[in-house]
């Protein structure tokens, strides 16, 4: 059988993993899926990911790409892989992309959503999936600050010092903050849409927006934070538990 | 300072615990709260629970009662205990009941909610809090069966064989099955309201209702299952992950 490619849509609870990326001796999402896929097809498989999510970060729409020689029909991959994966990882869809499909280069948009619980008492059935921050947040001010990030900017101030990429210019298509309604009124969400992100960029943006929401910074400071091109100009990093990669769209 | 009683409303994710009840050498909710309360007040505290939830079962409204001589104001208990508890347990409220308050005898109603996810793929961010059962469920038939349980009946057929209590007559005030709406349309919920329950009674009811929903039993069989007074007459037990003690109401 000829080599073929399988594109996977992947969801996971990242709480108990050291992030997406394979690392020797550590339990990671990639390594766990590699193992399940290798067991299934009977040869060693390496699943490439479109996004490298950090330890503790979740995904509802990660995208992975693997090559295999197996004759297993594509439509059987979802169930067969899920049968071999732990409860906190699931394959949502499988398809065969064109042979020249570019997993990272062809990304058009990604959505990250960050969830903050602002109530006085931690939500025990949701604590893995949010940042519990018992605090009054001025969502209007956060939105004003968020708007200053939309567009093409140098985001070096929001990148981890560990991110050594020279080009720190990125484009944010949308950055919005809103409060939940009804039983979700204690929740504040930050949504950030872009094509690619620097390391820790979304969590550093959220941490900075929260300082605006708490009145520690004015929303008008965002422009000068961007100009500084210095990580220490921005706010503290938000914890990974609140972050979820919602989807990745391709051309 | 005189001895006083503190009534606690308690929420927890039961996934990582061997149930409510203190057991030597095992991590339980009760033991964890006893430890936090003892640390806080400086003497050994035993928190009694209104319900003994099983391993893996959750609560949003468990009620606990403790005695203490501490002068700490009641209103400070919530934050002070939460500071000493792990993320998956939280105290929602604290108050001083009348000295003769009867934690178990004065219960008027309890609500248990059971959550089933019926979609083909497990919901990774909710898998700790539901039973993933990829299955078509006839909610109408389940509701018809559920109605046959409402009222005062001998529920011996739905009790764990381990439950040695002689009196197996209980009253169910409400038993309803409904499907979620919108993004929750893959979910089916079973709500059971009663004053007290036999061991595993709600999970055995849910397991039996599911067999009705799958067409393995007719809804008209519930009467004969009750009459049998025999655990083997009812269906399989539902897993603990889907069950949550929602609230307990007092006179």
pLDDT tens by residue, A168-190: 999 999 999 999 998 899 999 99
**Shortest CA gap B90–chain A (Å):** 7
| DSSP structural state of residue B71 | -
pLDDT recorded at residue A1: 59
List C-alpha distances in Å: A70 to A77, A81, B214: 11, 13, 35
Q: Where in chain B is the domain with CATH 3.30.70.580?
A: 4-95
Spell out which residues of chain A touch residue B82, defining contact as CB-CB under 8 Å: 121-122
Percentage above 90 pLDDT, chain A: 95
CA–CA dist A91, A102 (Å, integer): 20
CB contact under 8 A, B125 and A92: no
Catalytic, out of B13, B54, B154, B186: B54
Give how far B126 is from chain A: nearest CA, Å: 9
Whether B121 sits inside 8 A of A90 (CB atoms) is yes
Q: Which DSSP letter does residue B240 get?
A: G
Using pLDDT thresholds of 50, 70 and 90, give the confidence band for residue B184: very high
pLDDT digits (tens, 9 = 90+) for B197-233: 999 999 999 999 999 999 999 999 999 999 999 999 9
A24 backbone dihedrals φ, ψ, rounded to 5°: -55, 130
Task: Compare all CA atoms of chain A with the CA of B80 and give the residue at the minimum distance.
Answer: A121
What residues of B are in contact with residue A129 (Cβ under 8 Å)?
125
Query: B interface toward A at CB cutoff 8 Å?
Result: 11-13, 58, 60, 78-79, 82, 87-92, 120-125, 127, 129, 132, 244
Question: With contacts defined as CB-CB under 8 Å, which chain A residues touch B88?
Answer: 124, 127
Give me the residue from A88, A89, A121 closest to B92, CB to CB: A121
Given the candidates 3.30.70.20, 3.30.70.580, 3.30.70.890, 3.40.47.10, the CATH classification of the domain at A4-95 is: 3.30.70.580
CA distance A110 to chain B (A): 19
CB A49 within 8 A of CB A64: yes
Average pLDDT over residues B112-138: 97
A54 is catalytic: yes
Residues of B in contact with A123 (CB under 8 A): 90
Which residue is listed with tokens 């033991």?
B31
Q: Which of A89, A120, A127 is the closest to B87 by Cβ?
A: A127
As for the ipTM of the complex, it is: 0.90
Mean pLDDT of chain A: 96
B120: helix, strand or coil: coil
Instruction: Give A81's contacts in chain B (Cβ within 8 Å).
Output: none
Percent of chain B predicted with pLDDT > 90 = 95
Answer yes or no: is pLDDT of B168 > 70: yes
Q: How far is B56 from chain A (nearest CA, A)?
A: 12
User: What residues of A are in contact with residue B33 (Cβ under 8 Å)?
Assistant: none
User: At A24, is the pLDDT very low, low, confident or very high (cuts 50, 70, 90)?
Assistant: very high
Q: What is the pLDDT of residue B1?
A: 59
For B47-72, the pLDDT digits (tens) are: 999 999 999 999 999 999 999 999 99
Answer whether residue A2 shows pLDDT above 80. no
* CB nearest to B129's CB, from A79, A88, A125: A125
Q: Does position B140 have pLDDT exceeding 90, yes or no? A: yes
Mean pLDDT on B29-55? 97
Query: Which of A29, A76, A92, A124 is the mutation pick for testing B, counting most B CBs within 10 A?
Result: A124
Instruction: Give A60→chain B minimum CA distance, Å.
Output: 8
Which residue, chain included where needed, has tokens 């990582």? B16
* pLDDT on residue B102: 96
**For position A164, what pLDDT does the model report?**
84
The confidence band for B165, taking pLDDT boundaries of 50, 70 and 90, is: confident
pLDDT at position A183: 87
Q: Which residues on A lie below 8 Å from B124 (Cβ)?
A: 11-13, 58, 60, 87-90
Percent of chain B with pLDDT over 70: 100
Domain ranges in chain A with CATH number 3.30.70.660: 108-250
A203 alpha carbon, distance to own chain's centre? 10
- What predicted TM-score, i.e. pTM, was given to this entire model? 0.93
At CB < 8 Å, which residues of chain A contact B? 11-13, 58, 60, 78-79, 82, 87-92, 120-125, 127, 129, 132, 244
Q: What is the pLDDT of residue A122?
A: 97
Domain spanning B108-250, CATH architecture = 2-Layer Sandwich (3.30)
Pick from A89, A122, A124: which is nearest to B124 by CB?
A: A89
């Amino acid at each position: 059988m000829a080599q073929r490619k399988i594109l996977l849509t992947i969801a996971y609870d990242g709480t108990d993993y050291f992030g997406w990326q394979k690392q020797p001796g550590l339990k990671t999402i990639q390594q766990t899926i590699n193992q399940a896929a290798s067991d299934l097809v009977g040869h060693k498989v390496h699943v490439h990911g479109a996004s490298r999510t950090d330890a503790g970060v979740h995904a509802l729409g990660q995208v992975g790409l693997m090559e295999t020689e197996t004759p297993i029909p594509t439509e059987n991959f979802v169930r067969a892989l899920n049968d071999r994966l732990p409860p906190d990882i699931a394959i949502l869809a499988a398809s065969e992309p064109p042979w020249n499909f570019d997993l990272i280069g062809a990304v058009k948009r990604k959505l990250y959503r960050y969830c903050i619980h602002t109530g006085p008492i931690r939500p025990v059935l949701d604590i893995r999936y949010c940042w519990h921050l018992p605090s009054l947040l001025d969502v209007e001010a956060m939105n004003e600050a968020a708007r200053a990030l939309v567009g093409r900017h140098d985001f070096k101030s929001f990148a981890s010092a560990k991110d050594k990429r020279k080009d720190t210019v990125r484009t944010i298509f949308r950055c919005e903050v809103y409060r939940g309604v009804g039983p979700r009124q204690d929740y504040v969400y930050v949504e950030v849409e872009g094509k690619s992100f620097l390391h820790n960029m979304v969590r550093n943006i959220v941490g900075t927006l929260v300082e605006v929401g708490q009145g520690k910074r004015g929303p008008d400071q965002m422009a000068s934070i961007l100009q500084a091109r210095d990580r220490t100009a921005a706010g503290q990093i938000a914890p990974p538990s609140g972050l979820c990669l919602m989807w990745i769209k391709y051309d």
